Chain A
Amino acid sequence: MKEKLSALLDSELTAQECDAVLSAMQADPALHADWQQWHLVGDVLKQEHPILSPDFMSRFSERLAAEPIVIAPVAHRRKRDILRRAIAPVSVAASVAFVSMVGWQAYRGAAQTPASVQTTAQAAVNGQVQPMVAQAGNNPRLRAYLAAHRIDNGNVFASQDVMAVSYQEAPAR
């Protein structure tokens, strides 16, 4: 079953296999714990986002409730058929449910992580493992360059927060 779980993690399963593994995970708490820890290790290794804090889920729910209406361009909207209209609310609900589940798993995972997992993963990061594309966000040098670039863009209103953050790190000029 662990191979199946690993394959699920790598998105290599068919829809039916996914369902099977997911229900197995629901039945077997040990499998569920593995799933969370693998994700945590992946998160630490990839450093795509900060490790989620234990109160992630409650804060996420609050912010979801307070979310403003997102204004996004509607490209060439065609007439939607009745079926799609009927399905839309369902798919929205499904998305929310999915995000909630992922968030909840992350919350559980973070809460239950033995310290050793984190240390091992961190050691791996400090070793040879190098991500293909680095994130500039945690590099003060690149952050200063980003800020300089934005100033020269001339958009005095944009990205003030980013600029402010970058300048906090800068010594007196």
Chain B
Amino acid sequence: MMALAGMKWCAPLVLALGMALPAAAAPVGEVMPTPEAVQLLNRMARAPQDVSYQGVYIHQFPDHMEAVRVVHVRDGSFDAERRESLDGSAREYLRLGDQVSLYMPDGAPNVLDRHHANKLFPRQLPDQPEQLLAGYQIRLVGRERVAGFDTDIYDLEPKDKLRFLHRFWVHPDTGLTLKAAMFGTKRELIDLQVFSQLQMGAVNRRLLKPSHPLKPVPVEANPVNTVFADRQLEIRVAPQGFQLLRQIQRPMPGHDKPVTHQLYGDGLVTVSVFLEPFDSKVALGPSDQGMVNLYTRQVGPYLVTVLGEVPPETAFAFATLYQWRAR
């Protein structure tokens, strides 16, 4: 209640401040030069780590939406974050430094990957955000109010046909992302995360107290072997901007042996590739499921299945990275 009252009182003040401050350096509508872009990306990546905030954000998918309460406290070296789902099943996430604990009635994952364990909104940018400039260019496209704050709107435009348009609404004073959206090839909304209520600045640590019995989840930090055992399967270099992040052996329903799962990422989206023995019963070619595009292909004795929140061209491009070398 206190927080709400404070919020009400603060918002007009911050709003007025925001308007009085000079606008960002880059003019609206032009592609941002690289040095400025790097500076902006680093600021956007640092802000959610450095700023203490608490609020509620909405995550909108094409078919449903969820509200999540989030609290982040940064005080010197103390860095903690708590999230709680407000819609649907009760889920909770607590991060103290690098240690993540979860409460998930449906069963929590056994292990989280270091690359992704702390990449939840508004902290979805990678720690080395310059890598994004390999696949995207940045443009300031306008200004808009979000959760009572004035924001600058930046588009991360794909440089090729292999990715989607991402848009970020950034609070100019702190660099915190207040709203983030991904659009499909027809500019349709694929994914949206937006604060509906937000308070930045000092946050009471008591708000970090979990409301469910949490279970610690180990976060994998060791670099995973990314070499596929069968050298006859040639794996070409991923498209510009994408990197092979990890490779794991994953037990799968309907398979006696684990399936090899390779995960690629370009800093904003990930592409999964599954490698398994060829099965003639499986339908080959493109398919889709909501915002995810898939491509299945036979490569020598293997079945390669690619999927991700990427255009169909990308799924196909990744499928063709895999080539069989006849002896």
Contacts and interface: CB of A to CB of B under 8 A. Distances in A.
Given A140-B254, A158-B61, A169-B253, 11 more contacts: A76-B142, A134-B287, A139-B287, A142-B289, A149-B308, A153-B116, A154-B119, A156-B109, A157-B59, A157-B68, A163-B106
Contacts of A139: 283, 287
A83 to B, nearest CB: 24
B27 to A, nearest CB: 15
Contacts of A137: 289
Interface stretch (B40-48, B87-95, B202-210, B317-325): B87-95
Contacts of B102: 156
Contacts of B91: 156-157, 160
Interface stretch (A2-10, A15-23, A24-32, A67-75): A67-75
Residue with the greatest number of chain A CB neighbours at <10 A, chosen from B59, B83, B246, B253: B253
Contacts of A156: 91, 93, 102, 104, 108-109, 112, 120
A136 interface: yes
Contacts of A134: 283, 285-287
Contacts of B89: 160
Contacts of A71: 58, 60, 65, 192, 194, 196
Contacts of B83: 157
A136 to B, nearest CB: 4
A127 to B, nearest CB: 15
Contacts of B117: 154
27 contacts: A68-B65, A71-B194, A73-B189, A73-B192, A133-B287, A134-B283, A135-B289, A136-B289, A141-B252, A142-B307, A144-B253, A145-B305, A146-B307, A149-B272, A151-B109, A152-B113, A152-B246, A152-B261, A152-B263, A152-B272, A153-B116, A153-B270, A155-B116, A155-B120, A157-B66, A158-B66, A160-B88
Contacts of A170: 253
A161 B66 CA distance: 11
B144 A74 contact: yes
B157 to A, nearest CB: 13
Interface residues of A, number: 40
Contacts of B112: 154, 156
A157 B106 contact: no
| Chain B interface size range | 35 or more
B282 interface: yes
A154 B115 contact: yes
A142 B276 CA distance: 13
Contacts of B287: 133-136, 139, 142
Given A153-B270, A167-B107, A158 B59 contact: yes
A135 B288 contact: yes
B106 A164 contact: yes
Residue with the greatest number of chain A CB neighbours at <10 A, chosen from B60, B61, B179, B292: B292
B242 interface: no
B2 to A, nearest CB: 26
B162 interface: no
A88 to B, nearest CB: 20
Nearest to B269: A153
Contacts of A76: 141-142
B293 to A, nearest CB: 9
A145 B108 CA distance: 17
B140 to A, nearest CB: 12
A140 B253 contact: yes
Contacts of B113: 152, 154
Contact of B104 (A145, A159, A160): A160
A152 B220 CA distance: 12
